[in-house]
Amino acid sequence: MSDALAEHIEYLSLPGRNALFRRAIAAVLKPGGLAADLGCGVGVLGLFCLEAGAGKVWGIDSSDAIHLAREVMTKAGMAGRYKCISGSTFRTELPEQVDLIICDHVGFFGFDYGIIGMMRDARRRFLKPGGTMIPQSLDLMVAGVSSDACLAKAAGWAQEIVPPPYRWLDELSRNVRYSHQLSPDDLIAAPVALGHVDLADTNTDFYRFEAMLTATRAGRFDGVAGWFDCHLAGDVRMTNNPLSPDSIQRSQAFLPASQSFAVEAGDQIGVSIRFRADDMMISWTIQPPHGAPRQQMSTFKSTVISPADLVKQPDRALALSHEGKARAFVLAQVDGERTGAAITAKVLAEWPDMLPTEEAIRDFVTSVLAHHCAL
Q: Which residue ranges make up each domain of the chain?
A: 2-104, 137-304, 322-372
In this prediction, residue 220 carries a pLDDT of: 98
For residue 336, which amino acid is it?
A: G
* Fold for the domain defined by 137-304: Hnrnp arginine n-methyltransferase1 (2.70.160)
What's the maximum distance between 2 C-alpha atoms anywhere in the chain?
76
* pLDDT, tens only, 42-84: 999 999 999 999 999 999 999 889 999 999 999 999 999 999 9
In this prediction, residue 303 carries a pLDDT of: 78
In this prediction, residue 8 carries a pLDDT of: 67
In this prediction, residue 10 carries a pLDDT of: 75
> 73 by DSSP, 3-state: which?
helix
* The overall pTM is greater than 0.85: yes
Which of the two residues, 164 and 10, has the higher pLDDT score?
Answer: 164
How far apart, in whole angstroms, are the C-alpha atoms of residue 359 and residue 362? 5
* pLDDT, tens only, 170-223: 989 999 999 999 999 999 999 999 999 999 998 999 999 999 999 999 999 999
* pLDDT, tens only, 270-287: 999 999 998 778 999 999
In this prediction, residue 316 carries a pLDDT of: 77
Handedness of CA 77, 82, 85, 86 (dihedral sign): negative
* pLDDT, tens only, 312-323: 667 778 889 999
User: 2-104 — its CATH code?
Assistant: 3.40.50.150
Residue 313 burial (C-beta neighbours within 10 Å; 0-12, 13-18, 19+): exposed
Q: Which segment of 64-68, 132-136, 239-243, 273-277 scores lowest on mean pLDDT?
A: 64-68
**pLDDT bucket at 371, cuts 50 / 70 / 90:** confident
**pLDDT bucket at 108, cuts 50 / 70 / 90:** very high
How are strands ordered across the β-sheet holding 98-103? 82-86, 56-61, 34-38, 98-103, 127-134
Q: Is residue 1's pLDDT more than 60?
A: no
The count of other CB atoms within 10 Å of the CB of residue 116 is 26
